[in-house]
Amino acid sequence: MLFHLSMGDPGDGHFGGWGFVRGGMGGLAAACRRSAAAHGAEVRLGAAVEKIIVRDGRVAGVALQSGEELAAPIVVSTAHPKLTFLQLVERAALPPDFVADIERFKCRGGAVKINLALAELPEFAAAPGGDVQEHHSGSMELAFSPRYVQAAFDDAVAGRPSARPIADGTIPSVLDDSLMPAGLHCMSIYSQWVPWQWHTEPHRDELEAYADRVVDAYAELAPNLKGAVLARQVIGPHDLEQDLGLVGGNVYGGELSVDQMFHMRPAPGYADYRTPIGGLYNGSAGAHGGGGVSGIPGWQAFRQAIADSKRQERRRSLSRVARRPAP
């Protein structure tokens, strides 16, 4: 995962860096929607897909839960591979070995997202001052030593939430004044670990206690933090799976382990965004280039679909020429 993330480039040439999107992730989704609409796309909301229609080994469109069917010669799915191939497509339409690979695709999570609304910026004992300083615009890590990080992981392996969680905290409102009212700030915390099995149940009380420990740990470094918290949101593995479709609570659309990256993602022989179904493409974070917020899988799936369409059209044109009678 470190290798994967270190290859990131937010567009300014700083490899391994991260970028903030104005308006947050919702702002990014809104920008994508505006761009798509400007290019003639129709964007539908609340149109849940019941199944992907397959006829004679090729995709024919999608059926919505409302009963409406939308015919299409090309379908790009950005849903999780397990949702696309084990739920939306009938298994009988797929090769058994491919289905087995998707079933084995590992999606263990264990991360907890914590969002804080703050009345003031954290004032760190090591860098006093309540005004915006350089460190407020960077990442603030709870990872005091390799031993500390290992202990947090060992707790989760033993089936319990970390007593001393590791965390990556940022304050995006320092760079983006559209996120909070004037004078207020938000802190975004990605923390680890809780047992990956927690995706099956909410574990609300335990999650709140876990979040208390994360805030307490930051408050050891910034004593004013706890008193500055106006509200908080705690999102655990169960929430990630049920509300956001992140199977297993894994935020990367599948584990970023060596055996699930590059030509192995999501299955050997299908890292080129094609699938066993003609005209159906996988553009999800469970494809090569995912996870993370990069747009790479969707963009590459689009390019592959267009290239295949042009190739098929050339073949049809050549076939028509071949069938013409000699003059």
H/E run at residue 308: helix 296-323
pLDDT at 325: 65
Residue 120, pLDDT above cutoff 70:
yes
Q: What percent of the chain has pLDDT over 90?
A: 83
pLDDT at 326: 61
Residue 215, pLDDT above cutoff 70:
yes
3-state DSSP helix/strand/coil percent for the chain, to nearest 5?
40, 20, 40
Confidence tier at 292 by pLDDT (50, 70, 90): confident
Per-domain residue ranges of the chain: 44-106+251-322, 111-244
Average pLDDT over residues 101-110: 96
In sequence order, which residues have a C-beta less than 8 Å from that of residue 142 and are 6 or more positions away?
Answer: 165, 166, 167, 168, 169, 191, 214, 217, 218
Two tokens, residue 7:
């290859």
Please count the residues of the chain. Answer: 327
Residue 282, pLDDT above cutoff 80:
yes
Task: Quote the CA–CA distance of 260 and 268 in Å, as a whole number.
Answer: 9
Task: Quote the CA–CA distance of 319 and 322 in Å, as a whole number.
Answer: 5
Average pLDDT over residues 105-133: 95
Which of 201, 135, 190, 167 is CA-nearest to residue 25?
190
Residue 126, pLDDT above cutoff 90:
yes
In sequence order, which residues have a C-beta less than 8 Å from that of residue 33 and are 6 or more positions away?
Answer: 43
Looking at CATH, the fold of the domain delimited by 44-106+251-322 is given as: FAD/NAD(P)-binding domain (3.50.50)
Two tokens, residue 251:
């935020």
Residue 222, pLDDT above cutoff 90:
yes
Query: Is pLDDT larger for residue 273 or for residue 12?
Result: 273
pLDDT at 60: 98
Residue 253's region, left for phi above 0, alpha for psi from -120 to 50, else beta, is left
Two tokens, residue 70:
């939308």
Confidence tier at 16 by pLDDT (50, 70, 90): low
Q: Are strands 111-118 and 229-235 parallel, antiparallel or unpaired?
A: antiparallel
Q: What percent of the chain has pLDDT over 70?
A: 94
Name the DSSP class of 206: H
